[in-house]
Structure 1
Amino acid sequence: MTTMYTPDHEWINIEDHEAAIVGITHHAQDALGDVVFVELPEVGRSYKKGEVAGVVESVKAAADIFMPVTGEVVEVNEGLRDDPSLANSDPLGHGWFFKVHITEVGMAEFDQLMDPPGYDALLKTL
């Protein structure tokens, strides 16, 4: 299992060669406050790295969820749609947003994301 991070505070975890899981980080959910609504991407749709793939709304703000790598959405977390607070209570677990099949281009992009120490260094600058 390899987890990488974006500067926009998304995480992506490659579990196997079929799909990677995407969600928001502890920092993102903490900055947003209580999440009350999520707009998840359409299953079967392909996105390029950096495209808006969803929206998360809280009592304080709304934020776009950006696709961390190029790929096709193969599953969304319906449990998160039913209970958006999972993004707060378990952002790195049950609060995941979607799964994506990463293209060959996306795999190269994945290798350019921040590893955990790199993301921790970014957080220290905020």
Structure 2
Amino acid sequence: MAAWSLLSARAVTAFLLLFLPRFLQAQTFSFPFQQPEKCDNNQYFDISALSCVPCGANQRQDARGTSCVCLPGFQMISNNGGPAIICKKCPENMKGVTEDGWNCISCPSDLTAEGKCHCPIGHILGLWIHRLIDGT
């Protein structure tokens, strides 16, 4: 019995000497989990970083919270996704923007919270927007 205890103690000691240093060298890391709903209105949820990231100037998060859009009264002049959009203030006489956000327009009535023209029930907004091949 004493021989068995001595053998067991030696086996445990050998195991610890061989494998414990490997366990001690293991690296661990963690990062805080953040949910998209927790982002502020001026932030969007970056799925590659799993965190809230600030939108750029004159921007807020979109309806899904995963990108940024221009604030009401600002038109989009460049869009590369996420916060990589550039917004420009609309002229005073053209406070609304088109549905796609690329052009400033004047609205016959009030604006929605998103800065789009509000059309009463039974009406349509008649617009003719002409773009050149170069996008202007």
Q: TM-score, normalised by structure 1?
A: 0.27
Q: TM-score, normalised by structure 2?
A: 0.26
Larger RCO (alpha carbons 8 Å, 6+ apart): 1
